[in-house]
Amino acid sequence: TQLLEQSPQFLSIQEGENLTVYCNSSSVFSSLQWYRQEPGEGPVLLVTVVTGGEVKKLKRLTFQFGDARKDSSLHITAAQPGDTGLYLCAGGGGNNRKLIWGLGTSLAVNP
């Protein structure tokens, strides 16, 4: 069974701090996506990484796909209250054709 584990599960930090969220699996994925879900809304795609070792930047957010395509990280620099939300990773290309979802990291950035 393919699983994606995210850590930490909960994170509460002050505005301006840096943080890293991890998404790990023992399975290889052909792609890894990160979504952010704000309260009362559906998840929205932030980025897709497809190549082992790939790094993508989205303003203050840096995403990395592990060399073996089994894990990924999301680093946020100088977090702002607007970054508050649930961050979900999802692995694609599984052998059962489904997108495999992590359990999410709930981030709260306090002003």
Partner 1 sequence: DTAVSQTPKYLVTQMGNDKSIKCEQNLGHDTMYWYKQDSKKFLKIMFSYNNKELIINETVPNRFSPKSPDKAHLNLHINSLELGDSAVYFCASSQDRPGGRMTGNTIYFGEGSWLTVV
What residues contact residue 10 under an 8 Å CB cut-off, 6+ apart? 105, 106
**How many whole angstroms separate alpha carbon 13 and alpha carbon 19?**
8
Interface with partner 1, residue 45, by CB under 8 A:
yes
Interface with partner 1, residue 31, by CB under 8 A:
yes
- Does residue 21 contact residue 7 with C-beta atoms inside 8 Å? yes
Which range, of 16-24, 56-64, 73-81, 87-95, touches partner 1 by CB under 8 A?
87-95
For partner 1, the closer of residues 90 and 109 by Cβ is 90
For partner 1, the closer of residues 22 and 101 by Cβ is 101
Which range, of 11-19, 20-28, 76-84, 92-100, touches partner 1 by CB under 8 A?
92-100
